[in-house]
Amino acid sequence: MGLPHPPPLGASALPAGTFDGVCVFITGAGTGLGKGIAQEFARLGASIVIASRKPEHLDAGRAAMEELGAPVETVACDIREPDTIAAAFDAAEAAFGLPQVLVNNAAANFPVPAEDMSPNAWRTVVDITLNGTFFVAREFGRRHLDADTPGSIINIGASYAWTGGPGFAHSAAAKAGAKNMVETLAVEWGPYGIQVNGLVPGLIPHEDMTADIQENLSRADDEKDALQPAMRVGTRREFGWAATFLASPYAQFITGHTLVVDGANWQRRAMTNPTVVPIREQMGKEPFSLS
C-alpha cells in the first residue's frame, strides 16, 4: 500500500493569497524542483524572480509562471559570482521591491567515484552548491539588515548531508556545509527578523534531471516506487507545499531547522546488510589505475 498519494496539483493547505504582495527570489527555478517550488508560491499570489545562467531555463521558468498568471522577472545570474548576484537583486528590487523570501535552490551535481574526481570537478560543485548558496544568502541578508526588514531563507539540501553520499563526495560535502550554514545564519540573523531553514527532497523524478543523474537512477531497479519505504516516489507539488509552509506566516517560529520530505528513505536500514558493491562497480567502471 505505502503512503497515500497527495492532493492534486493546484491544491494548497495555505489560504489563497498567502503570498499576495510578496516577492520570492528563487535560484535555478527554470527547471525541476525549483520550478515546482516557484509554481506553488505563484499559486498563492507571490511575485517570482528566477535567477540562473541559461536563457532557455529562464524562458521555461517565465512561461511556467505566466501560465499561472504570476508576475515574474527572470535574471541571468551565476551564483558563483557575487557581482551577478548583486545585479540580480537590483533587478528584483526594481521589479517588485526587496524579495521577502529567498529559496537557494540552484546546485550542480554528477556521480563520480572519488578516486576519479578531478580537482576541477570538486571545485565546480563546491563552488556552486556551497559557495554560491552562501553568496546569495549573504546578499539577501545584507539588504534586509540595511533596510531593517524581515525575511525568510530556505536552502535546498540533500539527505547525504548527514549520511555521506558514495559517488557524490563533492555534492555531499557541499550540502553538509549548506545545512550547517542554516544553523549558523538562523542564530546570527534571527535578531534581525530573518528566518533560515533547510528543505531536503527525497527521490522526486522530473523531466529536467541531467543525463548523468537519469543514468544513475536507471542503474537501480526500474520500479522506483518499490525502492522507497513510502512505496512511492515524491511529487514536485509536495516539495513545493513544504517550501511555501516554511516561508509562510504559520511557520515563523521554525528557524534553523532542516525539514526532510522524502518518505523516510534516508532513514532506511535493513535487518541484514546487503553485499557491499564498490561505487566504480555500481557505475560499470574498470578497476582504477593511475596509468
Q: What is the pattern of x (binds ligand NAP, CB under 6 A) and - over residues 99-138?
A: ------xxxxx------------------x---x------
Three cell numbers at 99?
524579495
Q: Where are the beta strands (DSSP E) in 158-284?
A: 194-201, 258-261
* 142 scored as a contact of ligand NAP (CB under 6 A): no
Size of the site for ligand NAP (CB under 6 A): 30
- Three-state secondary structure call for residue 67: helix
160 classed as catalytic: yes
Instruction: Among 31, 39, 228, 258, indicate the residue that binds ligand NAP (CB under 6 A).
Output: 31
d(CA 256, CA 254): 7
Element of type H or E holding 104: strand 101-104
Min dist. Cβ of residue 251 to ligand NAP (A): 20
Q: Which is nearer to ligand NAP, 100 or 109 (CB)?
A: 109
110, 135, 140, 160: which one is catalytic? Answer: 160
* 141 scored as a contact of ligand NAP (CB under 6 A): no
* 32 scored as a contact of ligand NAP (CB under 6 A): yes
- Three-state secondary structure call for residue 101: strand
Three cell numbers at 257?
531547522
Q: Which is nearer to ligand NAP, 23 or 200 (CB)?
A: 200
Q: Which is nearer to ligand NAP, 149 or 265 (CB)?
A: 265
Min dist. Cβ of residue 69 to ligand NAP (A): 22
Instruction: Calculate the alpha carbon distances from 6 to 9, 192, 237 in Å.
Output: 9, 36, 9
Sign of CA dihedral 34, 39, 44, 50: positive
Sign of CA dihedral 56, 86, 103, 48: negative
Q: Which residues bind ligand NAP (CB under 6 A)?
A: 27-28, 30-34, 52-54, 57, 77-80, 105-109, 128, 132, 156, 158, 201, 203-204, 208-210
The residues assigned a catalytic role are 160
